[in-house]
Amino acid sequence: MNVVKSIASLGLVAFLAACGSADRYAVDMPPVTEQVSIRFTSVEVRDVSLPSYAAADEIHVRKSNGTLVSSSDELWADSPERAVALELSENLSRLTNRRIASEPWPFEAYPDARLELRFSELLAAETGQFRASGQYFVAVSTGGSERSGLFDLTVAFDPKGGPAAIAAARGQLILDLASYIAKNGLK
């Protein structure tokens, strides 16, 4: 009986090992090489809205025929909406040396401004371009003009680098977006 249990246990372990697990790809923060002055001392990154494919755990790529493909074996390391909001707030903080945080706002005093982003695209293409486009909104809490703007940015990457290259490109793209918003929406 113990032999049967041992064989069954080994079979289960072998089956689970054969199923494998997905590879998860983290986005590293690229170095900040500039400082940007903004008019606000504190900014809350409130909402980051992504298209459904970009909010999914799977890393999607646009093929030359326009179709989006993904694999359940290649996943983002963190929930994309949470990760992009954190990357954006950390990059804005590093660029501006101001008090910037993603929601929920962790401080007692309310922020001077709130930033929301609605992405229409956040996608890597098999041609080696990672593109982000959409609109940002800046709500001002005390006497100032609220504003909005469009963004459309791309970063090149080596498609032969696979998901790791895509993750590095996303990191650079979100840094570029933070710089763009700081210069155009938070001045």
pLDDT, tens only, 51-84:
999 999 999 999 999 999 999 999 999 999 999 9
What angle (nearest 5°) sits at the alpha carbon of residue 75, between those of residues 164 and 68? Answer: 90
Of the CATH numbers 2.60.40.10, 3.20.20.70, 3.40.50.10610, 1.10.3720.10, which one belongs to the domain with range 23-184? 3.40.50.10610
Residue 111, preceding bond cis, omega within 30 degrees? Answer: no
Mean pLDDT over each residue of the chain, to the nearest integer: 91
Q: How far apart are alpha carbons 107 and 104 in whole angstroms?
A: 9
Mapping DSSP onto H, E and C, the string for 87-135 reads HHHHHHHHHHCCEEEECCCCCCCCCCEEEEEEEEEEEEECCCEEEEEEE
Q: Is the pLDDT of residue 86 over 90?
A: yes
Q: How far apart are alpha carbons 119 and 46 in whole angstroms?
A: 14
Mean of the pLDDT values across residues 110-120?
Answer: 97
Mean of the pLDDT values across residues 94-123?
Answer: 97
Structure tokens at 105: 């706002």
Residue ranges of the domains in the chain?
23-184
Q: How far apart are alpha carbons 62 and 123 in whole angstroms?
A: 7
> What global pTM score does this model have?
0.88
